């Protein structure tokens, strides 16, 4: 089995759960700016350290395995620009409070089946709403349980 699909699965799973994100393995040199080696040059201990959080998450959540694998496949198919946007979105998500997350889920689910024009219109309306109007909108358009 090639290492890339395993690494992609590990990265996608870690990225989909910011709390699980691990720090990169230590560089071989003292220079902190030195680039990290390619997968093939990592030691087995470094590879294990990268994959350990995924292994635990995979084993602890058998009902989520298909979703985790699907995320890994999608991550592999993304362009570098799409990956950058995904990282920005994950960073924003990490800093949202629970109410903001619920609103984001509701908006995402509502926009999912809309045309670009309809999404743009809803986005324009959303930005014009007061916080109370947004809460009411989410009550009328609740996100599905996650």
Report, as an integer, the average pLDDT of 42-49: 93
Query: 104 and 80: one domain?
Result: no
Question: Residue 128 sits in which domain range?
Answer: 98-140
Two structure tokens written together for 134: 């947004």
* Residue 12 pLDDT level (bands cut at 50, 70, 90): low
Q: Which of 141, 139, 142, 110 is nearest to 123 (CA)?
A: 110
Residues 75-97 have pLDDT tens digits of 999 999 999 999 999 999 999 99
* Residue 34 pLDDT level (bands cut at 50, 70, 90): confident
Give the count of domains, the chain.
2
Domain-located, residue 131 = yes
Query: 63 and 9: one domain?
Result: yes
Query: 70 and 120: one domain?
Result: no
Query: 106 and 66: one domain?
Result: no
Query: 27 and 82: one domain?
Result: yes
Residues 122-132 have pLDDT tens digits of 999 999 999 99
* Residue 32 pLDDT level (bands cut at 50, 70, 90): low
Name the residue with higher pLDDT: 144 or 59.
59
Q: How far apart are CA 127 and CA 42, in angstroms?
A: 47
Query: 80 and 129: one domain?
Result: no
Query: 88 and 125: one domain?
Result: no
Domain-located, residue 41 = yes
Q: How far apart are CA 48 and CA 103, in angstroms?
A: 37
Q: Which letter does DSSP use for residue 101 in this model? A: H
Query: 59 and 129: one domain?
Result: no
Q: In the 3-class helix/strand/coil scheme, how is the chain assigned residue by residue? A: CCHHHHHHHHHHHHHHCHHHCCCCCCCCCCCCCCCCCCHHHCCHHHHHHHHHHHHHHHHHCHHHHHHHHHHHHHHHHCCHHHHHHHHHHHHHHHCCCHHHHHHHHHHHHHHCCCCHHHHHHHHHHHHHCCHHHHHHHHHHCCCCCC
Domain-located, residue 146 = no
Domain-located, residue 145 = no
Query: 120 and 61: one domain?
Result: no
- Phi and psi at 129, nearest 5°, equal -75, 150
């Amino acid at each position: 089995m090639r290492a890339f699909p395993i690494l992609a699965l590990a990265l996608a799973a870690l990225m989909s759960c910011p709390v699980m994100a691990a720090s990169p393995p230590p560089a071989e040199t003292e220079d902190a700016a030195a680039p990290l080696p390619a997968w093939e040059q990592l030691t087995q201990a470094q590879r294990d350290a990268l994959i350990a959080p995924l292994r635990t998450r995979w084993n602890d959540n058998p009902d989520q395995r298909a979703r985790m694998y699907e995320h890994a496949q999608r991550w592999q198919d993304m362009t570098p620009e799409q990956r950058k946007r995904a990282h920005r979105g994950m960073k924003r998500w990490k800093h949202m409070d629970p109410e903001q997350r619920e609103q984001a889920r509701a908006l995402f689910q509502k926009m999912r089946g809309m045309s670009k024009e309809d999404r743009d219109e809803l986005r324009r309306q959303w930005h014009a709403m007061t916080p109370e109007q947004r809460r009411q909108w989410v009550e009328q358009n609740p996100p599905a349980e996650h």
